[in-house]
Amino acid sequence: MNGAEIIDGKAYAAGLRARVAAAVPAFRVAAGRAPGLAVVLVGEDPASQVYVRSKHKATVEAGMESFEHRLPATASEMELLDLVERLNADDRVDGILVQLPLPSHIDEKRVIATIDPDKDVDGFHVVNAGRLAVGEAGYVPCTPLGCLMLLKDRLGDLSGLAAVVIGRSNIVGKPMAALLLAENCTVTVAHSRTRDLADVVRRADIVVAAVGRPEMVKGDWIRHGATVIDVGINRVPGAEPGKTRLVGDVAFAEAAAVAGAITPVPGGVGPMTIAVLLRNTLVAAHRRAGVALPE
């Protein structure tokens, strides 16, 4: 039986985008300009092109200024660094996002380190990772911040809850763990060397799966009533030959039978990422212009 509440990330993300859009006119009046987001795409990776297009569309829909910069796959690291420096210096640009992955001849770390931390709306700069670690205001990576919003929307105060984050990447797992710790959860971070993962997950009131392995987390790993956030996006063969479908890192039907609430894939965490990117850009615009941020 399917007992869990399905957490509708698509609806929450739509609401967040609407709240961001509603705050833009007052910012325009106060600052004399719109919030601006610059997105840089290097090369022709099809998935990255789709992401960049949807970020552009969402930015414009929110009433913000979108600056799109496309460089060929052959662009040198120096060309990209020069572009980032120009965007750092451009007052109309509040947020800078360099779409990853970059071609292999470009050092991603160096590029991210060149972004002004106060325009780093992706939250990938080490200064922002440090701010998150010590509890200072900065920019938090969009996907884990979106997961936290969904958790707080469902559970309210997270204080004292046992949270297990599976995955320790710099863009999802580690910032997710830091956010949950800041909410006073008791946090366990599991990874590929974790022993008895099923037993570790069984102790959790909150499970966040960010692994990249289709349906790895089984229903009998989930504690009755737990809240399950599935970050995974995995493409697997579909029912019909030649067709594919998306699944998460959690075996959804099994887990939904025991969990209290669960995010679906697609339609759970996925839509939150762009909505939070817009929110981070709005925050950056207000901070940079010295304008008070609405709720």
- Residue 169 in marked binding region: yes
Amino acid at 90: D
Distance CA 210, CA 141 (A): 14
**Total residues at the site for ligand NDP (CB under 6 A)?**
25
63 vs 212, beta carbon nearer ligand NDP: 212
Using DSSP's 3-state secondary structure scheme, residue 158 falls into coil
Contacts to ligand NDP from residues 187-246, by CB under 6 A: 190-194, 197, 210-213, 231-234
Q: Is 274 annotated as a binding residue?
A: no
138 marked ligand binding residue: no
DSSP state for residue 122 in the 8-state scheme? T
Say if residues 140 and 123 touch (Cβ distance below 8 Å): yes
Contact 162, 203 (CB under 8 A): yes
- Contacts of 119 by beta carbon, 8 Å cutoff, 6+ apart: 87, 88, 93, 94, 95, 96, 284, 288
Catalytic site residue 49? Answer: no
Cβ proximity to ligand NDP: between 31 and 200 the closer is 200
- Residue from 95, 123, 173, 264 that binds ligand NDP (CB under 6 A)? 173
Q: How far is the CB of 124 from ligand NDP (least distance, A)?
A: 11
Q: Per the residue annotation, which of 94, 118, 120, 122 is the catalytic one?
A: 122
- Say how far residue 25 (Cα) sits from the centre of its chain: 25
Report the binding-site residues for NADP(+).
167-169, 233
Catalogue the active-site residues.
55, 99, 122
Contact positions toward ligand NDP, by CB under 6 A?
A: 143, 166-169, 171-173, 190-194, 197, 210-213, 231-234, 269-270, 273
